[in-house]
Amino acid sequence: MLQAGNICSADLPQSLSAQYAATRALTCDLLAQLSEADACVQSMDDASPAKWHAGHTTWFWETFLLRDHLPGYRRFDETFAYLFNSYYEAEGERLLRSRRGLLSRPSLARILAWRSAVDDAMRGLLDDPQHADLIALGIAHEQQHIELLLTDIKHAFFSNPSGPAMWESETSSASTLRPLDWTPHPGGIATIGHQGDGFAFDNEGPAHRSLLEPFALADRLITNREWEAFMADGGYCNPALWLSDGRGWVKEHQIAAPLYWREDQQFTHCGWQQRDPDAPLTHISFFEADAFASWAAAQWQGARLPTEFEWEAAARAHNADPAAGNQLDSAAPPLPQGEQALFGDCWQFTRSAYLPFPRFRPAAGAVGEYNGKFMAGQWVLKGASCATVRASSRASYRNFFYPHQRWQFTGLRLAKDL
Count, in order, helices (H) and strands (E) of the chain. Answer: 11, 12
pLDDT digits (tens, 9 = 90+) for 241-291: 999 999 999 999 999 999 999 999 999 999 999 999 999 999 999 999 999
| Amino acid 211: pLDDT | 98
| Residue 351 forms part of a structural domain | yes
pLDDT averaged over every residue in the chain: 93
Asked if the structure places residue 272 within a domain, the reply is yes
88 and 201, same structural domain? no
pLDDT by residue (tens digit) across 173-216? 666 778 999 999 999 999 999 998 889 999 999 999 999 999 99
Q: How far apart are CA 248 and CA 188, in angstroms?
A: 38
Is 128 among the domain residues?
Answer: yes
Q: Is residue 175 part of a domain?
A: no
DSSP summary character for residue 412 = -
Question: Does residue 382 share a domain with residue 281?
Answer: yes
Residue 390 contacts residue 345 (beta carbons within 8 Å): no
User: Looking at the structure, do residues 333 and 215 belong to the same domain, yes or no?
Assistant: yes
SS3 125: coil
157-163: long-range pairs with CB below 8 Å, 24+: 157/38, 157/267, 157/269, 157/271, 158/43, 158/260, 158/267, 159/43, 159/44, 163/267, 163/271, 163/272
Summarised one tens digit per residue, pLDDT across range 75-88 is 999 999 999 999 88
Distance, first Cα to last Cα, the chain? 16
| Residue 2 confidence (pLDDT) above 50 | no
C-alpha to C-alpha distance for 7 and 11, rounded to whole angstroms: 7
Q: Cα angle at 149 between 147 and 153, to 5 degrees?
A: 125
Cβ proximity of 218 and 414 under 8 Å: yes
User: For residue 292, what is the domain's CATH number?
Assistant: 3.90.1580.10
So what's the pLDDT on residue 9? 36
Q: Are residues 152 and 300 in the same domain?
A: no
Residues 59 and 141 in one domain: yes
Gap between the Cα atoms of 52 and 108, Å rounded: 9
Is 27 in a helix, a strand, or coil? helix
- ∠ CA 31-37-40, rounded to 5°: 75
Residue 187 near residue 170, CB atoms below 8 Å: no
Query: How many domains does the chain contain in total?
Result: 2
Cβ burial of 224 (10 Å; 0-12, 13-18, 19+) is buried
pLDDT, residue 80, reads 97
Based on the fold, state whether residues 120 and 196 are members of the same structural domain: no
* Residue 166 maps to a domain: no
Residue 152 sits in the same domain as residue 186 = no
Average pLDDT over residues 359-380: 84
The answer on pLDDT for 7 being more than 90 is no
- Residue 195 resides in a domain: yes
Task: Compute the distance between CA of residue 406 and CA of residue 287 in angstroms, rounded to an integer.
Answer: 10
For residue 264, what are the domain limits? 182-417
Same domain for 328 and 230: yes
What span, in angstroms and rounded, lies between the C-alpha atoms of 343 and 320?
A: 8
Cβ 139 vs Cβ 18: under 8 Å:
no
Q: Could you tell me which residues come within 8 angstroms of residue 143 by beta carbon, excluding any fewer than 6 positions away?
A: 23, 388, 389, 392
In a domain, 167, yes or no: no
Q: Are residues 18 and 69 in the same domain?
A: yes
Q: Please write the tens of the pLDDT for every residue from 325-349.
A: 999 999 999 999 998 899 999 999 9
Number of other CB atoms surrounding residue 284 within 10 Å: 24
pLDDT, one tens digit per residue, over 113-152 is 999 999 999 998 998 999 999 999 999 999 999 999 999 9
Does 354 lie in the same domain as 250? yes
DSSP symbols for 202-257: GGG-S-EEEEE--EEEESSPPBHHHHHHHHHTTTTT-GGGS-HHHHHHHHHHT--S
In a domain, 174, yes or no: no
- Whole-angstrom distance, CA of residue 219 vs CA of residue 212: 19
Residues 131, 195 share a domain: no
231 lies in the same domain as 338: yes
Per-residue pLDDT reduced to its tens digit, 283-308: 999 999 999 999 999 999 999 999 99
Nearest residue to 203 via CA among 6, 412, 15, 376:
376
Contact 43, 159 (CB under 8 A): yes
The amino acid at residue 259 is: L
Strands 410-411 and 347-353, bridge-based pairing: parallel
Query: Which of 159, 191, 209 is a domain's end point?
Result: 159
